[in-house]
């Protein structure tokens, strides 16, 4: 079985307050984009996890793919499998690649072993692995609230638009992202803003993580400015960074080839 876990971008991200359980209450819209890791899951005599592509440091047992398998193994006594991950989506980039990988391991195991687990139950299971994980079970545009795991379908149609994705290779960890965060005081919901024409998003749709990220890494602010100079209708940082994206009506061109950045253009 071969699966293709997708990346996501955030259309707006409000950090509202810090909750009593230590998590932050957020509001964001997440959509998948055509940028994928590659995941293979096959039955095996003993469990094996292999990974190529972008190097993932640390013990393999700490990898979210392995944690996803261990969780289902404990809950449903499933047999051993061999998991191979080709890592293409950069980490610490606000694209949710690790969360997508873990969620697709669960989706793949449910299919492989015909487990009687509903989509909602899968979301509850992967929610134990990370706040973004439940989103990738359905992989449809979702308005995320709570710590990101409370999902509500939302109509967002970017068909026939182009997406330009730029990642300068800066890793922004969770602690750095939340240090210095200023809680959003917006009274207008992201859902209401997304219902407006896309031409209005530049003025109204924001990502609360940009302020600190741009201070710590001025390159990110420069990239956003460049995207608008190139004609983006809307440009923003995805998640807690460091990937920037621009949405265009017409196909943009590559700009940062001499900077050794990850730069991709895709049609939505």
Tell whether the model's pLDDT for residue 235 goes beyond 90.
yes
- Per annotation, catalytic residue among 87, 101, 107, 132: 132
Mean pLDDT of 237-255: 94
Is residue 110 a contact partner of residue 149, using CB atoms and an 8 Å limit?
no
> 162-267 is classed in which CATH architecture?
2-Layer Sandwich (3.30)
Name 162's bridge partners: 248, 267
- pLDDT score of 36: 97
- pLDDT score of 223: 96
- pLDDT score of 193: 94
List the CATH code of the domain at 2-153.
3.30.230.10
Read off the pLDDT of residues 138-191 as tens digits, 9 standing for 90 and up: 878 999 998 888 899 999 989 999 999 999 999 888 788 888 788 877 668 999
Residue 247 host element (H or E): strand 244-248
What is the residue extent of each domain of the chain? 2-153, 162-267
- pLDDT score of 226: 96
The reported pTM is: 0.92
Residue 62 among the catalytic residues: no
- DSSP assignment of 62-86, as one string? GSHHHHHHHHHHHHH-PPPEEEEEE
Is residue 217 a contact partner of residue 170, using CB atoms and an 8 Å limit?
yes
Residue 132 among the catalytic residues: yes
118 Cβ neighbours under 8 A, 6+ residues apart = none
């Amino acid at each position: 079985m071969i699966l293709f876990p997708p990346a996501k971008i955030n259309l707006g991200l409000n950090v509202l307050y810090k909750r009593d359980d230590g998590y932050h209450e957020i509001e964001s819209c997440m959509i998948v984009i055509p940028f994928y890791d590659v995941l293979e899951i096959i039955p095996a005599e003993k469990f094996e996890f292999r990974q190529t592509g972008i190097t993932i440091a640390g013990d393999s047992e700490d990898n979210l793919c392995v944690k996803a398998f261990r969780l289902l193994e404990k809950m449903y006594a499933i047999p051993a499998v061999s998991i191979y991950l080709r890592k293409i989506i950069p980490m610490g980039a606000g694209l949710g690649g690790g969360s997508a990988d873990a969620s697709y391991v669960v989706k793949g195991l449910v299919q492989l072993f015909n487990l009687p687990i509903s989509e909602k139950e899968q979301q509850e299971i992967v929610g134990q692995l990370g706040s973004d994980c439940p989103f990738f079970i359905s992989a449809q545009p979702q308005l995320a609230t709570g710590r990101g795991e409370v999902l509500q379908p939302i109509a967002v149609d970017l068909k026939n638009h182009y997406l330009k994705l730029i990642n300068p290779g800066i890793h922004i960890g969770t602690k750095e992202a939340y240090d210095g965060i200023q809680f959003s005081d917006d009274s207008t919901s992201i859902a209401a803003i997304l219902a407006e024409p896309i031409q209005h998003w530049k003025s109204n749709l924001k990502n609360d993580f940009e302020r600190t990220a741009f201070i710590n890494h001025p390159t990110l602010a420069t990239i956003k400015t460049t995207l608008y100079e190139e004609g983006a209708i809307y440009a923003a940082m995805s998640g807690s960074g460091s990937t920037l994206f621009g949405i265009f009506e017409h196909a943009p061109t590559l700009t940062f080839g001499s900077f050794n950045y990850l730069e991709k253009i895709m049609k939505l």
